Each structure stands twice: as C-alpha cells, then as structure tokens.
C-alpha cells in the first residue's frame, strides 16, 4: 500500500556500513497526525526494503523533512519506536537547520541523550555514526 510520501522520500543505503540516509526530493512539511503516520509508515517501508529485517544506522535530513512543532511529542514517540525496532543503539543521527533541530529537541524533553545526535551538517551526522561504528567494531572480538 503506497501513500503520499512514498515518491517524495529518498533513502540511500550503504550496505557495507549499514547506514541508511533519509532525505526528500523536495521539502516535506508534516502538519497533522495523519501526515505524521503516513510519513512514519513510508520511512519504515523504505528501511525494511533497504535493510531487510536487520538493524542499521539512520541519518535523517531534517532540513528536508520538517515536522510542525505542534507534533513534537507524537513525533518523538514515533521516532523512538522506529529506532527501537529498526536501528542499532544510538544509531540515529539528524542534521538540519537550527529551527528544525529545535522541534526535535522539543520532541523528547525526557531523554536528554536523544539530543546528542543533532547536527548542523550532513558531514557531522555521518562522522557521528562512523565514530559509533568504529567504537562498536573495536569492542567486538575478532575470531
């Protein structure tokens, strides 16, 4: 079943590092719960299409996917659900404009660690995920 976001969101997947980069062709403005539900469904479908049933890392361009501040709380719940079911621990990084980062901060006042993954640039977000990958690989014993 397709929805209005299926053709708008873009997912780039690095299968070697298992990094899924989510952006959009044009700016997407999510203004109500129905749109938020559709967007989250489209993201999960794209994640599963690229990563299968395995976990991955995800980097989101929040300058292209803009959530209305009135949806901050439900957005926070939905993104945590996606992260818990599809991503590695601490495997989410987001980057974008300061105002969009503010909405993300509002989305989760209870969990300050959730804000450590907000960045100004794509490069900073990728550097964060690559650092997590490097730390994880150094902790895994080699056979």
Q: Which token pair is 133? A: 């990958």
**Confidence check: pLDDT of 12 > 90:** yes
DSSP letters for 47-60: HHHHHTTS-EEEEE
Provide the pLDDT for residue 123: 97
Confidence of residue 69 (pLDDT cuts 50, 70, 90): confident
Please tell me what DSSP assigns to residue 87: E
Q: Is the dihedral of CA 95, 98, 103, 106 positive or negative?
A: positive
pTM, to two decimals? 0.84
β pairing state of 87-95 and 118-119: parallel
Helix (H) or strand (E) holding 141: none
pLDDT digits (tens, 9 = 90+) for 99-140: 554 555 555 555 544 456 889 899 999 999 999 999 987 765
Confidence of residue 25 (pLDDT cuts 50, 70, 90): very high
**Confidence check: pLDDT of 78 > 70:** yes
**Nearest to 72, CA basis, from 115, 24, 20:** 115
Judged by DSSP in three states, 118 sits in: strand
87 close to 122: Cβ distance less than 8 angstroms? no
Tell me the average pLDDT of the chain.
Answer: 85
Residues 6 or more apart whose CB falls under 8 angstroms from that of 61 comprise 21, 22, 23, 24, 94, 95, 96, 122
What structural domains does the chain harbor? 9-139 (3.30.750.24)
119 close to 93: Cβ distance less than 8 angstroms? yes
What does the pLDDT average to over 25-52? 94
To which residue do tokens 């895994």 refer? 140
**Nearest to 114, CA basis, from 80, 66, 69, 75:** 80
């Amino acid at each position: 079943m397709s929805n209005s976001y299926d053709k708008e969101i873009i997912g780039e997947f690095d299968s070697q590092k298992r990094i899924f980069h989510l952006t959009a062709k044009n700016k997407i403005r999510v203004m109500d719960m129905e749109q938020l539900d559709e967007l989250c469904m489209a993201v999960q479908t794209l994640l599963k299409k690229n990563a299968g049933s395995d976990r991955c890392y995800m980097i989101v361009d929040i300058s292209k996917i803009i959530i209305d501040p009135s949806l901050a709380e439900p957005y926070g719940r939905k993104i945590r659900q996606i992260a818990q079911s599809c991503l590695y621990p601490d495997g989410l990084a987001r980057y974008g404009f300061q105002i969009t980062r503010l909405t993300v901060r509002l989305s989760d006042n209870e969990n300050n660690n959730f804000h450590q993954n907000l960045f100004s640039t794509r490069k900073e977000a990728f550097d964060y995920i690559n650092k997590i990958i490097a730390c994880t690989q150094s902790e895994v014993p080699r056979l």
